[in-house]
Copies of this chain bind each other. A is one copy, B any other.
């Protein structure tokens, strides 16, 4: 079911957004793409999303121009955020902050964002607490926070890799992860 297209001008902007990213899982896929997750099998293993649902959501996101397919090794493809997808970062950040605020982990935030230039924490306003600069998403490093439970020995490759600081938008996993057992 899609939202009405002739939906009352004042509500169109949000309803159009929700047509694209309002399906369950979709924003989690986009968030993973910001983290550098790129392959079908990586999304599937990390999000524990049914593969048919993941296929549907990736088709929606590529069809809407939020993600684009690029050739990987062999027959494989990777999914990479477009400029339109990158523009979703404020929404992903705002919803993540709301979740952290109202559904906190005992130890504190599960993830913190650092400014790649000086390793200083970046606040909810997107500014570096060190140099004061407004930090573009590509200059953010996502690092484990005090509330993050250590990844278990059977953690999927994405969860394991995110146990270390990682610069957003850079590929999270090597081209052939030994743990990547669910490649399409």
Contacts and interface: CB of A to CB of B under 8 A. Distances in A.
Interface of A: 1, 3-4, 7-18, 21-25, 27-28, 31-32, 46-48, 84, 87-88, 90-103, 105, 109-111, 142, 144, 147-149, 151, 155-156, 158-159, 162
Contacts of A159: 8, 10
A99 B10 contact: no
Q: Give the most central of A8, A9, A18, A94: most B CB within 10 Å.
A: A9
Given A8-B159, A10-B142, 14 more contacts: A7-B48, A9-B147, A10-B144, A10-B148, A11-B47, A13-B98, A14-B99, A17-B95, A18-B27, A90-B94, A90-B97, A90-B98, A91-B91, A91-B94
Q: Give the most central of A12, A27, A84: most B CB within 10 Å.
A: A12
B18 A103 contact: no
Contact of A14 (B15, B90, B92, B144): B92
Interface SS of chain A: helix
A3 to B, nearest CB: 7
Q: Give the most central of A18, A28, A97, A109: most B CB within 10 Å.
A: A18
Contacts of A84: 102
Nearest to A162: B10
Contacts of A15: 28, 99
A170 to B, nearest CB: 16
A111 B8 CA distance: 11
A122 B13 CA distance: 17
Given A99-B17, A101-B87, A11 B24 contact: no
A13 B91 contact: no
Contacts of A17: 95-96, 98-99, 103
